[in-house]
Amino acid sequence: MEQVKILIDLQEIMSRARAVETEKRKVPLEVADLKALFEEREAKFLSAQQEFEQLRKDRREKERDIEEEREKVERAKAKLMSIKTNKEYYAMLKEIEGTKRANTQHEDELLAILARYEEAEKRLAEFKAEVEEVGGRYRERMVDVEAKMASFDKDVFALEAKKSDVAKRLDPGLARRFEMIFDRRDGIAIVPARNQSCTGCHMNISPQLFNLLQREDRIYTCPNCNRVLYYEAPASEATGE
């Protein structure tokens, strides 16, 4: 029966398209580990960069505080020359000493910041080198992946076009039903019937249905799995023995 032959051809095309789609889904997994490594290195780099920027900000603020305190001391020293009473003079000296002590503390804090700043700068350079190295490898692999994906897309497009051409030779209702069966039965929508059983679900079919299949005058489906059935003659019958 011509319709059965068309369905067999259609199943072959759809199976090939499904296989291509399966292989296509595997492609991103080829770079999954490298992508994860790149993202890990990038996250460390961004964290180190954020820490470095904060330390740079803290350094600038502390340097500004020290400079302001130094200017304050210089202004106070200049003011000493115009003070006329001992009380005001000693009060100003006390203020200067307090400012110097505060500045000494600021300088100690700046030294601690500078030590952390240098460590962060070194760490940032190391992470940047790692990101660039892993990123380079990742980008190279992605070129291959994109090429593979494009090739698979091309194959799928060609198979879909071929599937559409073949499906046009079927009744629209049958084509839709066949595709539904294909999806629900894991890519096997049409199977031969042998020895009065469906080779799809391996369940027995009635002698009456088996006889009807041999007429090859219409489309029949398995009562159990709903796959399309067609009669396949035994080897001895096919060879005329």
Range(s) within the chain of domains with CATH label 1.10.287.1490: 17-167
* Eight-class DSSP state of 194: E
What is the length of the chain? 241
Is residue 236 predicted with pLDDT exceeding 60? no
* Eight-class DSSP state of 201: T
Rounded-to-integer distance, Cα 222 and Cα 224, Å:
5
User: pLDDT for 5-44, tens place per residue?
Assistant: 999 999 999 999 999 999 999 999 989 999 999 999 999 9
**pLDDT-based confidence at 177, cuts 50/70/90?**
very high
Token digits of residue 170: 């079927």
Contact (CB, 8 A) for 219 and 181: no
In 3D space, the residue among 153, 215, 78, 91 whose CA is nearest the CA of residue 229 turns out to be 215
In 3D space, the residue among 119, 121, 136 whose CA is nearest the CA of residue 42 turns out to be 136
User: pLDDT for 105-129, tens place per residue?
Assistant: 888 888 999 999 999 999 999 999 9
CATH number, span 17-167: 1.10.287.1490
Instruction: Look at residue 239 in the predicted model and tell me its pLDDT.
Output: 45
